[in-house]
Amino acid sequence: MKTDSSAPATPRPVSLMAIVAVFVLLSAFGLLAERVYFPVISPAPQNETPDNLSKDMAWKATPASRKAYMLDLKKKQAEQAASYGWVDQKKGIVQLPIDRAMELIVQENGGAK
């Protein structure tokens, strides 16, 4: 039997069935891998209602509470960076304003070299 090289080759039914079978197997493997490696997890704290949060996580409840918490934290950090105080009095660790700490480091190291 002679074949005409100019005629397009038609796929055999067996080839189509093999392609479908491979696709089904890969899809099943993908779904199984998704369940094993990416299990369903609970929502992030910022997406939960305030009633379900613990007291230490309540600041994450709403965008307004997060903004208020961050503003308060920045204010406390700015005050702390500009004041003197004890960090650990028993060990002799103090808190200095940043400018003063830089002056002491320069004096300790002998200034510019």
pLDDT tens string 29-73: 998 888 777 766 665 655 556 666 777 777 777 788 889 889 999
Is 5 contained in some domain? no
Q: How far is residue 76 CA from its own chain's centroid?
A: 25
- Other Cβ atoms less than 10 A from the Cβ of 41: the count is 6
Do 24 and 68 fall into the same domain?
Answer: yes
Is 44 contained in some domain? yes
- Other Cβ atoms less than 10 A from the Cβ of 47: the count is 9
Is 1 contained in some domain? no
Do 17 and 64 fall into the same domain?
Answer: yes
Is 112 contained in some domain? yes
Residues spanned by the domain of 41: 13-81
* pLDDT reported for residue 34: 83
Do 48 and 25 fall into the same domain?
Answer: yes
User: Shortest CA distance to 48 belongs to which of 39, 40, 57?
Assistant: 57
| pTM above threshold 0.75 | no
What distances in angstroms separate CA 91 from CA 79, 94, 111, one per listed residue? Answer: 23, 9, 28
- Domains: count for the chain: 2
